[in-house]
Amino acid sequence: MLPVASALPFSQALMAAPDSPRGALAREIEKGRDADIARLREWIALPSIAAENRNMREGAQYMAGLARDAGFTGVEVIATDGHPGVFGVMDNGAPTTLGLYFMYDVKQFDPAEWSSPPLEGRIVDKPGWGSALVGRGAINQKGPEATLLAGLHAMRRAGIRPPVNLVLLAEGEEEIGSPHFRQLATHARVLPALKKCAGIFIPACWQGPDGEVSINLGAKGVVELELVASGKAWGRGPTGDIHSSNKASVDSPVWRLVQALQTLVTPDGNTAAIDGWFENVRPLTAREKELIAISAASSDEAKVKQMMGVTHWIDDLPFEQAIERQASQPTVNIEGLVAGYTGPGGKTILPGKAVAKLDLRLVPNQTRAEAERKLRAHLDAHGFPDVEMNVSGGYDPTEVSENARLIKAQEKAYAAMGVKANLYPRLAGSWPGSTFTAPPVSIPATQFGIGHGSGAHAPDEYFVIDSTNPKVAGMSGAALGFVELIYQLAAT
């Protein structure tokens, strides 16, 4: 097992047993540290943004190159009806096969909002954490993925064959709701390889300030969409922008959209009010409530609030009830509103069009198809048939048994590293794990990793390279953490 001395930073603790296979790998990871950081910085400098159709072909080719360099064979870029994906295998002659899910796309960014250039990968000091690399994709998801690749590079240099076979599947549309990912997973060459896997995971580096991690037994589903109100579709109001003095006699598509949005939630905006929205929602089980209570008791509420930048939970709920809502409740969230003039000063116009960007988070036993159908029916029934609904992507919720082999291997890996890990019902965020857990693939799917980063989708997104917190791994420790999981799965 990987030796970790709790009083030492991970970078030192990894060297505690230099004669063991893990010790040899730790030395190789340290030797390759500069190259691993350079690889991550170069990857961040090439942003693939599906929403903007930016560098998608280049991003897929770069991902394919990363896979080949790490030892994957038969690597190919696979076309879909949208943006391409990447597939590769690593046959190590092992009886067990593990799947790796990667995404090579990132969210949009505005450089003016960043304190460090978003494509430069500059390393800065993060008080309380250590030195961190700042850039778009640093934690979501290129940093963790590059760290896993660093572990594979170290194994190759050390002449150590991984004790499991690996299957890699990477997509470029995760940040727009993975609209074509099922095409990749069910491709004639991909599906047979995936079905051999004992499970699949997405690399993550989400340690909290006390070194804690969650083993998520699922994730919420999501629907990403736009609602559009326009004078043209409504038949009222202007078809384009006109002078605001005309509001005295002309209807406003912007207010039309606001009124439609108000029907989707309760007056405080905290609970979905879409007709029939909760009829298939599965209540938390007794076991899930038990896991939440354990997680709440072992977490520092003040630190959680500080990391999120909040001072209150909904309705001033106690911490346990707040995170119970996070795990159990479907949500209707406005992620952006666009209408009329938004520059400096005023422009006194009556806009002819307004757009709301929404994401709907889903819990078991909701489905994406049900959510889309009910939202459309709700808008129509409440007198808004003209409000357009443009869905860009989404997928169902994910559930995994706590007795799954991959989950047990994660528990053993974290324990071997001295990392406090709590089982948790489901990730409040979303990823297309349901593509794997549902037929025809039907394998467990989850996240795994030590290390730390934050700021996903936000300015100044970062990933810790050298940790000053003795309970949190830096990049080298996180790389060895992924190797530990591989060994634990082989032995489970």
Summarize pLDDT for 73-97 with one digit per residue, the tens: 999 999 999 999 999 999 999 999 9
Give the tens place of pLDDT for each residue, 115-168: 999 999 999 999 999 999 999 999 999 999 999 999 999 999 999 999 999 999
Q: 């591989």: which residue's tokens?
A: 486
> Does residue 448 contact residue 482 with C-beta atoms inside 8 Å?
yes
- pLDDT tens-place string over residues 271-297: 999 999 999 999 999 999 999 999 999
What is the predicted pLDDT for the residue at 1? 34
149 is written with which tokens? 């690749």
CATH of 221-281+317-395, one of 3.10.580.10, 3.90.1170.50, 3.30.70.360, 1.10.1060.10: 3.30.70.360
Judged by phi (left if over 0) then psi (alpha if -120 to 50, else beta), residue 80 lies in beta
DSSP H/E element including 22: helix 21-31
CA separation, residue 127 to residues 124, 196, 209, 466 (Å): 10, 44, 12, 12
SS3 assignment, position 313: coil
For the chain, list residues with pLDDT below 50.
1-16
Would you state the pLDDT for residue 307? Answer: 83
Report the pLDDT value the prediction gives residue 408, as an integer from 0 to 100: 98
Domains of the chain by residue range: 10-218+399-491, 221-281+317-395
* pTM of the shown model: 0.90
pLDDT of residue 12: 41
Residue with tokens 């709301």: 356
The count of other CB atoms within 10 Å of the CB of residue 54 is: 15
Nearest-angstrom CA–CA distance, 136 and 458: 8
How far is residue 162's CA from residue 92's CA, in Å, rounded to a whole number? 7
CATH of 10-218+399-491 given 3.40.630.10, 3.40.50.720, 3.40.1010.10, 3.30.360.10: 3.40.630.10
Q: What does the pLDDT read at residue 331?
A: 98
According to DSSP H, which parts of 400-472 are helical? 405-416, 434-437
